[in-house]
Amino acid sequence: MMFIDSHAHMISRTTDDYEAMAAAGVVAVIEPAFWLGQPRTHVGTYIDYLSSIIGFERFRAGQFGIRHYCTVGLNSKEANNEELAEGVMEILPRFALKDGVVAIGEIGYDDQTELEDKYFRLQIDLALELDLPVMVHTPHRDKKRGTIRSMEVCKEHGIDPSKVVIDHNNEETVRDVLDRGYWAAFSIYPSTKMGTERMVDLLKEYGPERIIVDSACDWGISEPLGVAKTAMLAKQKGIDDETIRLVCYQNALDAYGQSGQMKEDDWLNPPAIDQRTVYEGNSILRGQREPVVGELTSKHTLDNLIIE
Amino acid sequence: MSNTPSELLRIWVFRQLSEAPGNWLNGHLETLLTAPSRQAFDIAFGMIPRKLGKEDLVLSDEDLADADAARAGWNPRLWSLDQAARVMLLVNLSNDASENFAARFKDLHGIADVSELLALYSGLPLYANPEALVEFAALGLRTNIKAEFEAISHKNPFPAEQFTENPWNNMVLKALFIGVLLEPIQGLDKRANPELARILHDYAHERWAAERIVSPELWRCIGPFAQGELLEDFQRLIDTGNETEKKAAALALTLAPASEACAKVRAQLSEFDEMIEKGELTWATIADDMFENSLAITRKLNTEVELKR
């Protein structure tokens, strides 16, 4: 089975994670521009960060047969540094049309401040101008109100709900999001966001329509196999294959594919130039390895002492 | 009169485009000619892959001969359509005397994605005032993205023409280090130098100490200086090397300074003399061998090699 992890901060992950994801069937990842943990203090570091996720990270993923896409945007936390925010807004249009940029994101609210609101709105307008989808980060705190407010602002700016993915949903937010016609993404992230068992229950209740499962793996204690593990557990619990395919693959492709920058052919039948340069092909698609979720042996044991 | 590189690119790109993308590109070329602005350029440059697609540029042998006639050493054989169109825009910009092209190159380079980087670098032999761009080429070679490294180093006359000895030597060493073939680097024999031979001799011994394979291509840069301890390396190849390594040794030593010691080493490789004479054993066939005899186990990128014991 092929998977897309439509929210993965691979810049913070190791090559072991890429290996494990490829082995588990992940064919593509989307890397949203986000907060690095340490606040940035110069627009220059932001520029270099965006260059990294459109450049070196794409190459790094390609070495493991994983297609790498990204979203660009000013995240909500750093929107509160006005000087930085102004600088980022100035350079953002130049990055938004680069190869493999599938949305403006992740944008939205953190503390729901005035500055966050200002730059969220400006970036929705940018997405409208460039005809790009939007990935909305919903806040950790005061989540339900923040989620509804995000959708109200989207509506006010006239962006079609089918172009907006509302991410990091939970049991409390999903109904509103689906009712209003948005894509509802769930981040399988231990302890803070969504768990695999709860996710399976949600699939039983809501079905597959407009639901997307991602991992949101980053520099925190998180799980790059979140999508694959959800798929396996869902199968064990009797969810049908088509539902799993939609929520762990197809819906993300349909939502972000609206950018024109992400097509199934990218991994099934990649252009010759890409095969020569940034994408080495997926070993599973080449039939060399079976997906081995749950049987992966960690390199980080002292059982094998040979390093070549 | 023969065509300029810009004219050739125009012909090749447009003949491959259907009407809509052709009109789009034509409109932008027109704008850039009549009302040039940085913004107009950036939009056209940025949008090219979305509008034209990323298919390979279709070129005949005759086209390639035209390329070489228009600019000696220019080889666009593995270019894509969007790459060719972008290079055309860049070449036109560099020909505009009112523009500081190096500054524009720097600006574009600073926020380029990978396909833009490939266009910027593969156009290096075609821009006016190439001297001003040497620092960017040297900077680009510090990359870990093989495709970016190859856009500068492979099938590109720019490095051999513009690099001083130090960046040249660094480029060759790094190519070996990151598993990029030497054969597509232009000017390897012409730019051979004793310092590079010493560096590569040390590098080979470092690899041998770690029980790693040494690329057979490396000996090409040592051959012209094969005396003393450098010549001893060739005896080691004869004693312990595989078939491809011995062939490479034989080829490399055709460039060696004549000496009694050298003749003694070469005599042990005489089985390859006839192949060399007939042109059946060349550095190009060595590169092919590297893939075929499992010295290299992958050929995923255009010329990437991965050396395994």
| Residue pLDDT, tens place only, A194-241 | 999 999 999 999 999 999 999 999 999 999 999 999 999 999 999 999
Q: Cα–Cα distance between B281 and B274 in angstroms, integer?
A: 9
C-alpha distance from residue A104 to each of A9, A28, A40, A169 (Å): 15, 18, 19, 18
Q: What is the pLDDT of residue B296?
A: 46
Q: What is the pLDDT of residue A6?
A: 98
Q: What is the pLDDT of residue A282?
A: 64
What is the SS3 assignment for B100?
A: coil
In A10-69, the residues whose Cβ lies within 8 Å of chain B are 47, 50-51, 54-56, 58-59
Alpha helical stretches, state H, chain A: 15-24, 43-54, 56-62, 82-96, 114-130, 143-156, 174-179, 196-206, 226-236, 241-245, 251-256, 265-268, 272-277
Q: Cα–Cα distance between A98 and B114 in angstroms, integer?
A: 9
Q: Cα–Cα distance between A238 and A242 in angstroms, integer?
A: 12
Q: Cα–Cα distance between B93 and B85 in angstroms, integer?
A: 13
- Among A276, A280, A288, A307, the residue to mutate for chain B (most B Cβ within 10 A): A276
Chain B residues whose beta carbon lies within 8 Å of the beta carbon of residue A271: 54-56, 80
Q: What is the pLDDT of residue A285?
A: 62
ipTM score assigned to the predicted complex? 0.87
Q: Give the residues of chain B that fall short of pLDDT 50.
A: 294-304, 308-309
Contact B147 A100 (CB under 8 A): no
Among the partner-chain residues A59, A97, A272, the one whose CB lies closest to the CB of B114 is A59
Buried b (16+ CB within 10 A) or exposed e, B131-167: ebbbebbbebbebebbbbbbbbbbbbbbbbbbbeeeb
Which of A98, A91, A104 has the alpha carbon at shortest distance from A131?
A104
Chain A residues whose beta carbon lies within 8 Å of the beta carbon of residue B42: 94
Chain B residues whose beta carbon lies within 8 Å of the beta carbon of residue A56: 144-145
Q: Give the residue-averaged pLDDT of A171-182.
A: 97
HEC assignment per residue over B196-236? HHHHHHHHHHHHHHCCCCCCHHHHHHHHHHCCHHHHHHHHH
Chain B residues whose beta carbon lies within 8 Å of the beta carbon of residue A274: 54
CA angle (A123, A129, A131) in 5-degree steps:
100
Start-to-end CA distance of chain B, whole Å, equals 53
- The structure tokens listed for A189 are 């992230």
Please say whether the dihedral angle defined by the alpha carbons of residues A89, A91, A97 and A102, taken in this order, is positive or negative: negative
Assess A305–B contact: CB distance below 8 Å, yes or no. Answer: no
Taking the CA of residue B225 and the nearest CA in chain A, the distance in Å comes to 32
- The structure tokens listed for A173 are 């937010």
Confidence class of residue A306 from pLDDT cuts 50, 70 and 90?
confident
Residues 6+ apart with CB under 8 A from B5: B67, B70, B71, B74, B91, B126
pLDDT tens digit string along A261-300?
Answer: 999 999 999 888 888 888 766 655 655 544 444 444 556 6
Residues 6+ apart with CB under 8 A from A172: A143, A144
In B123-162, the residues whose Cβ lies within 8 Å of chain A are 144-147
Among the partner-chain residues A55, A91, A271, the one whose CB lies closest to the CB of B113 is A55
Q: Give the position of tokens 């790059």.
A: A224
Asked if B114 and A274 touch (Cβ cutoff 8 Å), the reply is no
Which of A297, A299, A231, A278 has the alpha carbon at shortest distance from A1?
A231
Confidence class of residue A191 from pLDDT cuts 50, 70 and 90?
confident
Q: What is the pLDDT of residue A273?
A: 85
Q: What is the pLDDT of residue B304?
A: 47
pTM, whole model, 2 decimals? Answer: 0.90
pLDDT tens digit string along A242-263?
Answer: 999 999 999 999 999 999 999 9
Residues 6+ apart with CB under 8 A from B303: B150, B154, B180, B181, B183, B184, B287
Q: Cα–Cα distance between A211 and A183 in angstroms, integer?
A: 6
- Among A278, A279, A286, A288, the residue to mutate for chain B (most B Cβ within 10 A): A278
Contact A277 B56 (CB under 8 A): no
C-alpha distance from residue B81 to each of A281, B72, B259 (Å): 21, 21, 51
Q: What is the pLDDT of residue B299?
A: 39
Taking the CA of residue A267 and the nearest CA in chain B, the distance in Å comes to 14
Which of A60, A59, A66, A86 has the alpha carbon at shortest distance from A20?
A66
Asked if A59 and A10 touch (Cβ cutoff 8 Å), the reply is no
Q: What is the pLDDT of residue A284?
A: 58
pLDDT tens digit string along A102-160?
Answer: 999 999 999 999 999 999 999 999 999 999 999 999 999 999 999 999 999 999 999 99
Q: Cα–Cα distance between A193 and A202 in angstroms, integer?
A: 14
